[in-house]
Structure 1
Amino acid sequence: MKERKRRFNLYFNTNSNLKKEYNLRRHYETKHPKLADLQGEDRKQKIEALKKQLVSQQGVFEKRRKESEACTIASYRIANLVAKSACPFIDGEFVKDCMLEACDVICPEAKDAFKNIITKQVKVTYFSAALDESTDNTDTAQLSIFIRGVTGTCQVYQELAALVPLYGRTTGFEIFNAFKTAVENLNLPWSKLSAVTTDGAPSMVGETNGFIGHLKRHLGPDQAAELKHYHCIIHQEALCGKHLQFKEIMDFVVSAVNFIRARSLNHREFQYFLEDISAAYGDVIYHTEVRWLSRGNVLKRFFALRNEIKLFLEQKGKDTLLNLKLQGKKIDLPLKGNLTHFPTCQEAFAHKNYNWSRHSCVLEDLKLAFSARFGQFRNEQATLQLLADPFSVDTETVPGELQLEIIELNCSTAMRTKHREMPLLEFYQSLDREQFPNLFANAQKWISMFGSTYICEQMFSLMKLNKSPLRTRLTDENLQAVLRLATTSLEPDINQLVSERRCNISH
């Protein structure tokens, strides 16, 4: 028989190098005279029996190979789960030991071996970047670079492009070099870069020596003029919140929280007290100035437990003028007293005779702070309105290449119904690329943009969990690999990984 384009001797289970028919016949008649006498059905039955014998022999090795491949696939999947859950590497060994114990009972021949994992690459039409920098537990500056890409079918992917350790200075030049290396390693064309989102640090936003300045000089004047750069909208909101100092209120709140939590006896008694009266929350939380949302969370929790805190402080003999402390100083400015958008004030001061003028100055300062910031988004209001609702924009105000497509879109009742019933991303995914090419490309470009660096802050929280004080020797390469798996939405191509590696069962 022929196997892989070579003649195979079924009787001796060897390959035959004889090619000419005469040589094969002579070999067959001289070496296998008993088989030469077989004719008709006897000959066919003998050949089939020899074939089954060959397949059975090969099946021993094939079964072993499939078992090894299955074990390798299982090890990849387990390693993926360990990395996504941000667990220490030693937890992987613990899972392995547990599986080995289970396998000893269920399938003793199965073993596991954990290895690295890679992901499939996705081709994007436009992409944007979000950058932020923080320090880990070893005081190493870590620059996180996230890429948000949109494919040709308007599918959105957000992935960690790189986590770059900056051992020296963290100037705009070092940040730009790290970003440039990350983009080139991913083979992303610079012409597809639509926007960059950072915080407001001078090393990031500086037009001369900052990251943005270096990036624009690298892109050239034409593309630099079209590049969008945004200051994280959540960071701007946090900066506006700093105008609401409420020093007298915060001093009292922080003092009360510290009195409760700084002493273990007070803390235990306060927790038991809240448990006995079935309070809405089981504890108060500390205020941390560096955390953007800490002030609001602390005040919200403190206000929710204000009655319980007052009773507890009275038991401890502390000052209980809680309502007066939370009101702050009096400011004589006119205020209408409309509390529609202030639900906490509605709950705290239900009586109508409260003097609201004391808070008007604070609101005026907050209004000025909001006016000074978010200018970038206000300038893009018309474009964002076009993206959010192309049916409500004035055709004369949109760019010329989009006007005919907007008119045609407004004339389509079916598309108007889809826009009303579908999520915005699904609506643009359903657009006909040939009928609305410019509108679809414009949507791709704007959908690819980051509005904040919140995803970077989430990653830094995971970094603190992984590179904890007990794991400070975790290398930068392993830290980046773990965080990439923990933050990715892509699934690893395990079948490709297994096909590229030789699968051997460990003993």
Structure 2
Amino acid sequence: NDKSMANTKKHKADFENHQFKSDWTDCFCFILPDHAKAKPTCLICMQTVVVCKTDNLKRHFNTMHAASFNANYPPESDQRKQKIANMITSFKHSVSTISKSTSAQESATAASLQISWYLAKANKPFADAELMKSCAVAMVSEVLRHDEKQKKTVVELLQQVPLSANTATRRVEVLGTAFCFFAVSSSSDWAHNRGSHLYRTDSILCEEWLGCWQIVSIVTDGAPSVVEQHKGLVSRLSAINPALLAFHCIIHKSVLCAKLCGKMQETMDTVTRLVNFVHENSSLQHRLFRAMLDEISAEHKDLLLHNDVRWLSKGRVLERVCDLRDELASFLSTLQSQRAQEFKIFLIDNDMMGYVFFLCDIMSHLNCLNLQLQGKNHTVVDMYKAVEAFRSKVKLLEKDIQGRKLHFPRLREHCEKNNMGEDQVMQDFVSSLAKNFYECFECTPKLSSDILLFLRQPFSVSADGQWTAEAKKVWPSIDEAALQMEVLEMGTSDVLKAQHRDVGVKDFWINMVPQARFKNTRGIAMLLLTMFPSTYICESSFSSMNSIKNQDRNRLSNAHLDQCLRIATTEYRPDIRNLENLLKI
């Protein structure tokens, strides 16, 4: 049949493994080079034959060289042996020279790729590649100035590295393309063929900036400025995919829960105006304040500015004002303006400063939560677990503010020093904070606590519980009956239980749970692991994009911007040597 004929042809071309015989060199002037996949090479004309067989070599020699070569160098003669030996020496010398040249060129190309990679990681222009070469040459010249021979050798090697702006551009194109290929390499359970910040490779779960294919989950911060004139993004996507999982960014939601109002907002506004007054009233005033802090060796050298976009700045501004309270009051007393005196009165008012110290303490707790939620490689389960722990902490804070204030150290010290009692405004704020966190994070649309518990503790859930029906709603294509059976089977596996105790959640589901036996359980786990928990990666990528495409790089194309952005935001490091075959030198 056709299949057997195809296999026969392939056998003739690929599977015959004839060994090269040493006497072929004397008879036919052929040599077998010493490298992988080498073919017999004629020492006279440097042509090669495909199949290593006597007939092929003999046919080539008799057809091309036999008459003239045998006439000048008769068989078995000393002249013939000497001539062949000379040709072998010349051939090896040529191969060595070409090999060294190729190796030097490959090293220069690899160095060029390395420099282009670092440029893209640092969001630098392509033209800076030549500057880096100049810097490298200058450093070598200084470091090796006492060794002229070595300096000359190293400088010559550096000069061979191609680092023009156009070359750096081509290198970034190759690196960006190679990264894209790596990121979307097909896998049997790779995020179920959907695009997200999280993707799975053979053994790890990575979080990067990727493109978009089929959307199954979306997280937003609800900011109208992002959607511009196109409103209703989630509803439009839901119309296309009714099973779409839509969430409000967990970090944004936690910040909204701690939104200030009433007396607390008034206090925060006053502190912000105070800091702005010291900083911005006049440059001379700001310099005098810093000089005073430096002269008295204060704990800090300056005040910090508050920015609503930076979630941690509110707590840090309050901390700095609290630490420099006495220094600020002393400095303001030297100023003659009415505003300075008003701020001084604010700083020496124990009641108002009580609110400042309270806000400083409560913001320190909120900043700890915010830092836990920020960063890469946080799954939706990790973030909800952190929020769940903070909800318990807020309940403790609600009781503590009415008692010993153990978790409000600044406020406790201030109250003890000034014999101040309890304040209902502070108690109401903590109670409101606890209520907001309870209401905002108690009910998660389409994602119950039992499903999240299954991902963290798969051996603690019941197979016939309601959560499997909820899992069916999250992933409509899942086989609920098979899911229940797989959960029961996992519960009886001592091996999986032991592995679950020894490794993390992601490693367990990716590397320990067999795909063939636990298709549905592993599928729902991968769905949760690759789900969007927040907009952190997206917003940090926007920051990188603004840094890359600045006003001095206004000619940067969208394709190059995309490649630079991928390189700048990825934690994946390509094998530079394996990328050389992608270059067209």
For normalisation by structure 2, the TM-score amounts to 0.66
In structure 2, the residue matched to 1:286 is 305
**2:88 aligned to which of 31, 46, 51:** 51
Distance 1:127 1:73 in 2: 33
- Offset at residue 149 of structure 1 (A): 1.5
Classify the secondary structure of the residue corresponding to 1:72.
Answer: helix
1:298-346 deviation line (CA, Å, top 9, x unaligned): 223323333433343344463244243334599xx99733534444434
Q: Write 1 or 2 for the structure with the bigger share of strand.
A: 1
C-alpha contact (below 8 Å) 2:113/2:576 kept by paired residues = yes
In structure 2, the residue matched to 1:123 is 186
1:408-457 deviation line (CA, Å, top 9, x unaligned): 44444454444334322223232333443332222111111121001122
In structure 2, the residue matched to 1:391 is 459
1:238 maps onto 2:265 in alignment: no
**2:274 aligned to which of 248, 256, 269:** 256
Distance 2:231 2:274 in 1: 45
AA of the residue aligned to 2:154: I
Please, which runs of 5 or more residues in structure 1 have no aligned partner? 131-144, 162-181
C-alpha contact (below 8 Å) 1:149/1:156 kept by paired residues = yes
In structure 1, the residue matched to 2:390 is none
1:298-309 matched pairs, under 5 angstroms: 298-309=317-328
- Offset at residue 271 of structure 1 (A): 2.6
1:229-271 deviation line (CA, Å, top 9, x unaligned): 1110111122223244623212321122112211222322333
Distance 2:413 2:193 in 1: 43
- Offset at residue 459 of structure 1 (A): 1.8
C-alpha contact (below 8 Å) 1:72/1:112 kept by paired residues = yes
Cα distance change, pair 14–247 in 1 and its aligned pair in 2 (3 A): closer
1:86-139 deviation line (CA, Å, top 9, x unaligned): 233343221022234547552414333323223242335344999xxxxxxxxx
Classify the secondary structure of the residue corresponding to 1:83.
Answer: helix
Distance 1:381 1:203 in 2: 32
- Offset at residue 44 of structure 1 (A): 4.7
In structure 2, the residue matched to 1:35 is 73
C-alpha contact (below 8 Å) 1:243/1:369 kept by paired residues = no
Percentage of pairs with the same residue: 28
* Larger displacement relative to structure 2 (246-255 or 389-398): 389-398
In structure 2, the residue matched to 1:449 is 531
- Offset at residue 54 of structure 1 (A): 1.7
Cα distance change, pair 232–107 in 1 and its aligned pair in 2 (3 A): same
Cα distance change, pair 33–154 in 1 and its aligned pair in 2 (3 A): closer
C-alpha contact (below 8 Å) 2:110/2:577 kept by paired residues = yes
In structure 1, the residue matched to 2:440 is 373
C-alpha contact (below 8 Å) 2:39/2:48 kept by paired residues = no
- Offset at residue 228 of structure 1 (A): 1.4
Distance 1:357 1:22 in 2: 103
AA of the residue aligned to 1:424: V
1:148 maps onto 2:148 in alignment: no
C-alpha contact (below 8 Å) 1:418/1:427 kept by paired residues = yes
In structure 1, the residue matched to 2:566 is 484
**1:8 aligned to which of 17, 36, 42:** 42
In structure 1, the residue matched to 2:421 is 354
C-alpha contact (below 8 Å) 1:82/1:92 kept by paired residues = yes
In structure 2, the residue matched to 1:157 is 206
Distance 2:63 2:484 in 1: 82
Classify the secondary structure of the residue corresponding to 1:229.
Answer: strand
1:147-205 deviation line (CA, Å, top 9, x unaligned): 31234x562122222xxxxxxxxxxxxxxxxxxxx43xxxx4x3xx4422222136889
C-alpha contact (below 8 Å) 2:402/2:422 kept by paired residues = no
AA of the residue aligned to 2:66: Y
1:89-238 matched pairs, under 5 angstroms: 89-101=126-138, 102=140, 104=152, 106-109=154-157, 110-113=160-163, 114=168, 115-116=171-172, 117-118=175-176, 119=179, 120-121=181-182, 122-123=185-186, 125-127=189-191, 147-151=197-201, 153=202, 155-161=204-210, 182-183=211-212, 188=213, 190=214, 193-201=215-223, 210-219=232-241, 224-225=242-243, 227-238=244-255
Classify the secondary structure of the residue corresponding to 2:460.
Answer: coil
Cα distance change, pair 274–459 in 1 and its aligned pair in 2 (3 A): farther
Please, which runs of 5 or more residues in structure 2 have no aligned partner? 1-28, 32-37, 50-55, 141-150, 359-397, 469-480
In structure 1, the residue matched to 2:403 is 337
Whose relative contact order is higher, 1 or 2, with alpha carbons under 8 Å and at least 6 apart?
1
Two-structure CA RMSD over aligned residues (Å): 3.9
- Offset at residue 372 of structure 1 (A): 4.6
Distance 1:325 1:38 in 2: 111
Classify the secondary structure of the residue corresponding to 2:198.
Answer: strand
C-alpha contact (below 8 Å) 2:208/2:537 kept by paired residues = no
Distance 1:422 1:5 in 2: 50
Cα distance change, pair 350–405 in 1 and its aligned pair in 2 (3 A): farther
Distance 1:440 1:479 in 2: 36
Cα distance change, pair 391–483 in 1 and its aligned pair in 2 (3 A): same
